[in-house]
């Protein structure tokens, strides 16, 4: 079997194209998109459901849902807050009750205090800026609307908050 040496033109092309491919594919890049750490602090809690008794939790109430947004970077980060909200809460037995979220059911506080809360509609993405080395807070309320024949008890659902 005869071995031929690779012509120098091919070696040059291969050595020139490899770094270009690495750059185009992002290999070796040290740039990283800044991100926020989102943590749930407290569930939105309506308590036990009673037939026909509408319950509204304001975003400033003690039983409102609470999340923190932690920016550990050295620069402000802008992000969109996006909630995934359930249309109903359910029991382990399968009973469900409608839950709604209005145009001021959620709020963003850049410094974590209720005094600086900016209300927003949690069903619409909301753009925020979290300052460097800061923990901001997001609050969530809502309204539970049981019918007159609603089964009493404890109802639950999953609510997800992301910051993109």
CATH code for the part of the protein at 37-163:
2.60.40
Q: What is the spatial distance between Cα 56 and Cα 90, in angstroms, rounded to a whole number?
A: 17
Higher pLDDT, 129 or 29: 129
Q: Model confidence at 89, in pLDDT bands (50, 70, 90)?
A: very high
| Residue ranges per structural domain of the chain | 37-163
| 49 phi and psi angles, rounded to 5 deg | -85, 135
**Pick from 49, 46, 47, 53: nearest CA to 151:** 49
111-152 residue pLDDT tens: 999 999 999 999 999 999 999 988 999 999 999 999 999 999
Indicate the pLDDT class of residue 27, thresholds 50, 70 and 90: very low
Q: What is the pLDDT of residues 30-66, one digit of tens each?
A: 333 357 899 999 999 999 899 999 999 999 999 999 9
C-beta of residue 99 within 8 angstroms of C-beta of residue 144: yes
The C-alpha atoms of residue 85 and residue 96 are separated, in whole angstroms, by 15
SS (H, E, C) 114-164: HHHCEEECCCCCEEEEECCCEEEEEEECEEECCCCCCCCECCECCCEEEEC
pLDDT of 13 over the 80 cut: no
Give CA–CA dist 142/159, Å, rounded. Answer: 12
Which runs of E-coded beta strand occur in 72-109? 77-84, 88-90, 96-100, 106-109
Reported confidence tier of residue 24, pLDDT bands at 50, 70, 90: very low
Global confidence as pTM: 0.77
Share of the chain above pLDDT 70, in %: 79
Report pLDDT for 163: 92
Q: What integer pLDDT is reported at residue 35 of this predicted model?
A: 76
- What's the pLDDT at 15? 34
- CA nearest to 137, candidates 101, 103, 113, 120: 113
Report percent pLDDT > 90 for the chain: 68
Helix or strand (DSSP H, E) at 39: strand 37-42
In angstroms, the CA 157 to CA 95 distance is 12
For residue 34, the model assigns a pLDDT of 56
At residue 89's C-alpha, the angle toward residues 87 and 91, to 5°, is 150
């Amino acid at each position: 079997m005869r071995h031929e040496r690779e012509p120098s033109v091919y070696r040059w092309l291969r050595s020139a194209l490899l770094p270009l491919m690495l750059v185009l594919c992002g290999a070796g890049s040290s740039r990283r998109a800044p991100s926020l750490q989102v943590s749930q602090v407290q569930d939105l809690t309506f308590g036990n459901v009673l037939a026909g008794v509408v319950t509204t939790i304001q975003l400033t109430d003690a039983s409102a849902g609470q999340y923190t947004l932690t920016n550990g970077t050295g620069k402000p980060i802008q992000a969109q807050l996006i909630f995934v909200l359930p249309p109903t809460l359910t029991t382990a037995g399968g009973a469900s009750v409608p839950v709604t979220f209005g145009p001021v059911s959620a709020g963003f506080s850049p410094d974590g205090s209720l005094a600086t809360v900016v209300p927003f509609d949690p069903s619409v993405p909301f753009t925020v800026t979290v300052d460097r080395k800061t923990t901001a807070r997001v609050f969530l309320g809502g309204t539970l609307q049981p019918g007159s024949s609603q089964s009493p008890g404890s109802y639950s659902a999953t609510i997800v908050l992301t910051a993109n």
